[in-house]
Amino acid sequence: MPFHEVAPNIYLVALPLPFALNSVNCYLLRDEDGWTILDTGLHTRAGEAAWRETFEALKIEPVAIRQIVVTHYHPDHFGMAGWLQELTGAPVLMAPRERELAHLSWGLPVDQQDPIIPLLQAHGVPMSNVEPIEVALARLRAATQPMPTITPLEPGSTLMMGGRACEAIYAPGHSDSQLIFYAAEERLVFCGDQVLNKITPHIGVWPTSEPDPLGRYLRSLDDLIKLEVALALPGHKTLINNWPERISAIQSHHDLRLDAMRSAVSNTTATAYDVVGRVFPYDRFSPHEQRFALAETLAHLEYLVAQNELHRDQGMPIRYHA
């Protein structure tokens, strides 16, 4: 079975992904008046089969789904929202900014160039690398269709999910306006991709990103570490029982990654493409991984620019230096 109960009235549904990170954690939450889906998975035939199998095993009729809540617009969390909405008739709830990002990223007309292409070119990525990334992105966009009708969910709102009053907390950085959900009485948090076990959340600069995503992410962690959390239910990997220690470990990871970026630019002027090859085994990566590695490199370089440790020279391509 693709699901198991992780707390009373909360089921983790593990859906397959066609990436090195091969599954995403979605959640089914039971209330007296129906069920909530929290995050949806990437829209694939395997994903559809997993949801149908779960509904059948738990004896859930589609009309019993009363709401579909999406933490953020990334395709592995958003991708099946439209399919599930068509199946259940339930509203899809997202932060207003995440709704905007979903339309900008996944509602792109087929004849329009993806805005990531000029971003990659501006930072020195050769066309031989750009073209496979463009093809992979087109496949990814197809796995987010159909697009749902989205109801805005404001940060600070309270939702009833799984018999718990859950506060929607603004948690930027991984995405511009990701929402995580905190049940204070139980000290339980659905933390999306903001805090993960075993791996670190991706923080990247994308064409639609607000400025300095890494700075916003680190400030968010400074706030989240103060939450009293006994159990965190993340978007990937295993459950988190050591909330402050795990956040501290992620903060330390970014300290080390920033040191690597400083070293890669030391005594030279470099494009982000130059730097990504010095920090990551870029040539061994798939197009999907290359896209993420460059976006992560940009996030760290732009953080150092915001801290006045590096300077950005505007030009074609853009270069960074101390």
Q: Count CB neighbours of 150 within 10 A.
A: 24
Provide the total of helices (H) and of strands (E) in the chain, helices listed first: 10, 15
201 in the Ramachandran plot: left (φ > 0), alpha (ψ -120 to 50) or beta?
A: beta
| Mean pLDDT, all residues of the chain | 96
Packing angle between helix 243-265 and helix 272-279, nearest 10 degrees?
A: 120
For 160-204, write each residue's pLDDT tens digit.
999 999 999 999 999 999 999 999 999 999 999 999 999 999 999
Angstrom CA distances, 41 to 68, 70, 235, 257, 278, stand at 12, 10, 10, 29, 33
Residue 68 predicted with pLDDT over 70: yes
d(C-alpha 156, C-alpha 200), whole Å:
26
- pLDDT given at position 113: 85
- pLDDT given at position 306: 98
For 286-322, write each residue's pLDDT tens digit.
999 999 999 999 999 999 999 999 999 988 999 999 9
Helix (H) or strand (E) holding 141: helix 127-142
Residue 201: φ, ψ to 5°: -60, 145
Q: Judge contact between 259 and 238, C-beta under 8 A.
A: no
The predicted model gives 45-54 an average pLDDT of 97
Angstrom CA distances, 229 to 8, 194, 246, stand at 17, 14, 11
The predicted model gives 36-49 an average pLDDT of 97
Beta strands in the chain (DSSP E): 3-7, 10-16, 23-31, 34-38, 65-69, 92-94, 150-152, 158-161, 164-170, 179-183, 188-192, 231-234, 269-270, 311-313, 319-321
**Is residue 287 helix, strand or coil?**
helix
The predicted model gives 153-158 an average pLDDT of 98
- pLDDT given at position 2: 83
Residue 1 predicted with pLDDT over 80: no
- pLDDT given at position 152: 98
Q: Which residues pair with 230 in a beta bridge?
A: none
Full set of structural domains in the chain with CATH:
3-253 (3.60.15.10)
Residue 135 predicted with pLDDT over 70: yes
Amino acid of residue 298: L
For 108-124, write each residue's pLDDT tens digit.
887 788 899 999 999 99
- pLDDT given at position 109: 85
